[in-house]
Each structure stands twice: as structure tokens, then as C-alpha cells.
């Protein structure tokens, strides 16, 4: 075994007592308790062997962001002595309780990650999965908690970190100005710190630090867009995959806007004012008190701080001010399924984003009138998600980055014929096979999705033998891969419905959209 890999297996055999009175004159075989141990740069971690893979949970990658470290850039974790037990997940970062939410305890001491490896002695491609949850719920346990993803068994090392969410991860305040350190994007600082940990340590788990793919859905997809745009993340990954991550109209805000939102939060939390005393008081609040001061739909997103993010993420894509890596960008056909969580109804679309649903009728009703519910569903789906999935791919292509766009329209057997399309992030269920797929059509789609993404994480191109051709997305000849009953690239996909969104993006940013 190579010494620089850092894996060692320890066998602590102990004799089992004979079952007196039940088995006469019969011995019971000695059982070996074998658990994998990896020596990281901070200390040894002891995982578990499960279903043919090695699993390490709750590994600290940064110091607890508590006390005076609340709303401070991510700090290095301290070394530990001996073997740290990595059999259980670390706490989730603080978040509101909700039905069907993440299991397990919560704590601000939450900057941990999980690693699953099928071959600790290999040099395998690495997939870092950033969890979603509208930037206010969720955790890195979401994939592993549902079983070992099939794509891992096929030769991929999976890493899934936590990061600060909600107001603890997104906060700017005038009292922070002049401190000489980055402010606001604590969530992004955490994600970058996790990627730095991967670069330093993943070879010890059988992964190739030069072959890292970052992937995320929803807020995780938005995170991947931001990581691609951030100068601080350059060199930490080789390719990116954005699933239902938006990028055109959601989230990003100037630092001045974030500071005003921080003032409003501070006042709600009982610490009004711009001075250091207000910030000091906020650092004494409990996580529950901080969460309680942000009622209503979540409104968290990337902050243009001039350091981690130099511009709106889409504008950085348009200017080519991004990592020089391939990008996959996609969405599903019924993204409106998530709008109840996000609170983007007709009224909010108008007030917050300037979207007049009725003014869009000509683009959406060329083939016949739509009832109110269906019109709103299509507008919601295209507004943040479809337009950005294709649009961000077009911007990446314009900047010379290999880009692939997709539109996932497959509905599983249980919902087929009952819903108008594939739900938000539904494609992830097939890519990672995190739920039973008894239907032959579901199984076919799952195998195809896994093949595409296994090819991509290995070599940066999803195409391979036996798969429908997935062409690079050209701004001058756009053809996303539409995945459904039939899977094929569709030139001019939803061109009429998407045209108003491209025009709105151009008007909002002052950038010409590639045609």
C-alpha cells in the first residue's frame, strides 16, 4: 500500500463469549471489527465500511464559526490528536424546523463534510456536491443519508460539505466596513474552504485532486455558478455542473443593498444602528433568535463584494471573468413546483422583479390561450430556471468555455399523467438513484443520466457510446438536450417563450445577449 495515501486498516479482533446453554460444545468464530482510517492534514479520521465503500462523516474542514467568529471569514480548523470517529454526520447548520426537513441536531459548529470512496487506494474523479435549500435549509448529509449513490460505486469519490446558510451565511453590516477582510458571503467562503480541504486531502481517500467536479441543484446550483465566477475559487475544480440553479434574475445583489438588508435585519433582531455595538449585540443572539428575525419567504443570495464576487454572476459569465472550465447547465420542466417554498407568486414577481405576467401572454399563447394557473406555471418555470439554464450556457459558450445545456422532462412512474412536468431538481433523483426506480422507463432514464454524468466527471464531456448525442451549446445554434420519453437535442427550444427573458436580462445588465 502506498505510504502517501494515508489509509490504514486496523483489525481489533476480540473473542466472543460462548453461548453457554444454547450451543453445547460449539465455538463461535472470532469477529474482526475492521474500520478504515485516513490520516488527514488535521488528524486521523475513522470511518465505516458500508455496502462495498468507505464512508467518512462529519470531518471538520474549518473552525466553528461561533462567538467572535460569527460573521467572520472561514478560519482554519485546529488539529486533533488520536483518531476522530467519523461514523456519524456532524450537526446541520442552524435552520428553521420544517416538515420533511433535514434530520439530526443543529449547531453553529457545523462546518464539516462527508466523504464516500469506493477505492481508497485509487486515483478516481472527485464529485463535490453542494446542497440546495433556497440558502436557508438543507445540509451535506442529503445524498448519503438516502443510501450510497450508484455513481459512486461506479468509480467516483463523493464529497458533500455543510456551509453557513440563512442570515448566518449571508450578512453585511456597516460596522463590518474597514476591517480589511471579506464580508457578506460567508456561505461562499465556507464552500471555498471545503474545496481547499479537498485539494489538500482527497488523494488520501483515493481521489484525484486535479479532477474535481462541483455540482449542485437549486441553491447548490446557484453556488456552483458563484464558484465558477469567483476568483478565489480558481484552480480548485476542473468542471462544473449547475442543476436548476438560475443565474439570471435570482439572488445576486450589490454590497450596499446587502448592507441595507443587514440594517433591517438588525433592527428586527433588536440591535438597531450602524455601530460596532449593534454588531456585538447581534453576535450574542442565539441561532434561534437570528432565525426568528427573518420571517417570511427566504431572500438570501450572492453579494457583489468586489473580492469573492466582482460583478453579477451572469455578467461575469458574459465577460469571460470565470474559471476556464466546462459547464453543464440545466433545469426541469415544472420548476414552478418549488415556488410555494420561495414565495414567488404573481404579486411578488411584479413587486420584486418587475415581471408583468399578463404582458407575457403573446409569447406564451401563440398556440392558444392558457388558463391563469398554467400561464403562471410556465412563467415561473422559465423566469428563473429555463431561461438561465440555456442563457448561462450561451454566455459560457460566448466566452469560449465548453457548455452543455439540458431540459429534464421525464416524469416518474408514480406521478406520470398526474403532474404537468418534472419537478424542481427531479433530475437529481435519477443521476444519483437516491430512490427506488421500479419502472423500466425510470430505470432507463436513471442509467442514461448516470452514464452522462460519469463521462462528464471523468473527462469533461458527457457523450459516450450508446447515449443520444449531447452537442455543445452554441450561442448561435442553441440546442439543449431534452430528456423525456425521447431524448434528443432540440434546436431553438422554447425560443418564443424565452426571448422576453433574454431581453429582460440584457435590459437589466446592459449586456448584449448572444444571438
455-492: pLDDT as tens digits: 999 999 999 999 999 999 987 789 999 999 899 999 99
- Rounded to whole angstroms, the Cα distance separating 217 from 143 reads 12
- The pLDDT of residue 100 is 59
Q: Which of 218, 222, 316, 337 is catalytic?
A: 218
- Rounded to whole angstroms, the Cα distance separating 435 from 438 reads 10
- Rounded to whole angstroms, the Cα distance separating 423 from 7 reads 41
Confidence of residue 10 (pLDDT cuts 50, 70, 90): very low
Largest CA distance in the chain: 86
- The pLDDT of residue 352 is 81
- CA-to-CA separations, 489 to 210, 233, 476, in angstroms, rounded: 31, 32, 15
pTM score, two decimals?
0.91
Q: What is the mean pLDDT of the chain?
A: 90
| 424 is known as an active-site residue | yes
Q: Which of 102, 196, 335, 426 is catalytic?
A: 335
- Rounded to whole angstroms, the Cα distance separating 277 from 436 reads 53
| 407 is known as an active-site residue | no
Q: Per the structure block, which three cell numbers stand in for 483? A: 430528456
Maximum mean pLDDT: which of 435-439, 442-446, 454-458: 454-458
Q: What is the mean pLDDT of residues 356-363?
A: 94
Nearest by Cα to 88 from 45, 121, 117? 45
Q: Which of 173, 407, 410, 424 is catalytic?
A: 424
CB 391 within 8 A of CB 502: yes
pLDDT tens-digit series, residues 229-242: 999 999 999 999 99
| 335 is known as an active-site residue | yes
- CA-to-CA separations, 418 to 130, 413, 415, in angstroms, rounded: 30, 10, 5
- The pLDDT of residue 338 is 85
pLDDT tens-digit series, residues 243-291: 999 999 876 899 999 999 999 999 999 999 999 999 999 999 999 999 9
Amino acid at each position: 500500500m502506498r505510504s502517501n495515501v494515508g489509509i490504514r486498516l486496523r483489525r481489533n479482533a476480540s473473542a466472543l463469549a460462548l453461548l453457554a446453554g444454547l450451543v453445547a460444545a460449539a465455538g463461535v468464530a472470532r469477529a474482526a471489527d475492521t474500520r478504515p482510517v485516513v490520516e488527514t492534514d488535521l488528524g486521523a479520521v475513522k470511518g465505516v465500511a458500508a455496502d462495498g465503500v468507505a464512508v467518512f462523516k462529519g470531518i471538520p474542514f474549518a473552525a466553528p464559526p461561533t462567538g467572535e467568529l460569527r460573521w467572520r471569514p472561514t478560519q482554519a480548523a485546529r488539529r486533533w490528536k488520536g483518531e476522530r470517529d467519523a461514523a456519524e454526520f456532524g450537526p446541520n447548520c442552524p435552520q428553521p424546523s420544517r416538515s420533511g426537513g433535514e434530520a439530526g441536531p443543529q449547531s453553529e459548529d457545523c462546518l464539516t463534510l462527508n466523504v464516500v470512496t469506493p477505492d481508497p487506494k485509487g486515483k478516481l474523479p472527485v464529485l463535490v456536491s453542494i446542497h440546495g435549500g433556497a440558502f436557508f435549509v438543507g445540509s451535506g448529509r442529503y445524498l448519503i443519508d438516502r443510501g450510497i449513490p450508484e455513481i459512486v460505486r461506479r468509480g467516483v469519490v463523493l464529497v458533500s460539505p455543510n456551509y453557513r446558510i440563512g442570515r448566518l451565511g449571508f450578512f453585511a453590516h456597516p460596522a463590518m466596513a474597514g476591517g480589511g477582510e471579506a464580508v457578506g458571503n460567508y456561505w461562499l467562503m465556507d464552500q471555498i474552504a471545503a474545496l481547499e480541504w479537498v485539494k489538500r486531502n482527497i488523494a488520501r481517500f483515493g481521489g484525484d485532486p486535479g479532477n474535481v467536479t462541483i455540482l449542485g441543484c437549486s441553491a447548490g446550483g446557484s453556488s456552483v455558478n458563484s464558484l465558477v465566477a469567483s476568483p478565489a475559487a480558481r484552480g480548485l475544480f476542473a468542471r462544473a455542473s449547475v442543476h436548476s440553479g438560475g443565474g439570471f434574475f435570482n439572488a445576486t445583489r450589490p454590497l450596499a443593498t446587502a448592507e441595507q438588508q443587514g440594517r433591517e435585519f438588525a433592527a428586527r433582531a433588536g440591535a438597531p444602528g450602524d455601530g460596532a455595538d449593534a454588531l456585538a449585540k447581534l453576535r450574542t443572539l442565539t441561532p434561534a433568535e437570528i432565525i426568528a428575525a427573518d420571517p417570511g419567504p427566504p431572500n438570501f443570495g450572492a453579494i457583489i463584494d468586489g473580492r469573492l464576487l466582482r460583478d453579477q454572476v451572469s455578467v461575469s459569465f458574459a465577460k469571460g471573468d470565470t474559471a476556464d472550465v466546462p459547464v453543464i447547465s440545466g433545469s426541469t420542466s415544472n420548476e414552478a413546483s418549488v415556488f410555494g417554498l420561495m414565495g414567488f407568486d404573481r404579486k411578488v414577481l411584479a413587486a420584486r422583479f418587475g415581471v408583468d405576467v399578463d404582458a407575457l401572454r403573446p409569447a406564451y399563447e401563440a398556440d392558444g390561450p392558457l388558463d391563469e394557473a398554467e400561464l403562471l406555471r410556465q412563467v415561473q418555470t422559465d423566469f428563473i430556471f429555463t431561461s438561465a439554464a440555456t442563457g448561462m450556457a450561451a454566455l459560457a459558450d460566448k466566452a469560449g468555455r465548453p457548455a452543455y445545456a439540458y431540459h429534464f422532462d421525464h416524469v416518474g412512474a408514480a406521478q406520470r399523467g398526474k403532474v404537468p412536468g418534472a419537478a424542481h431538481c427531479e433530475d437529481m433523483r435519477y443521476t444519483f438513484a437516491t430512490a427506488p426506480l421500479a419502472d423500466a422507463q425510470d430505470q432507463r432514464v436513471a442509467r442514461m443520466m448516470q452514464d452522462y454524468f460519469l463521462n462528464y466527471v471523468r473527462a469533461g464531456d458527457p457523450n459516450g457510446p450508446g447515449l443520444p448525442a449531447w452537442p455543445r451549446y452554441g450561442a448561435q445554434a442553441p440546442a439543449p438536450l431534452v430528456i423525456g420519453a425521447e431524448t434528443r437535442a432540440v434546436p431553438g427550444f422554447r425560443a418564443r417563450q424565452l426571448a422576453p427573458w433574454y431581453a429582460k436580462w440584457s435590459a437589466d445588465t446592459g449586456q448584449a445577449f448572444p444571438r
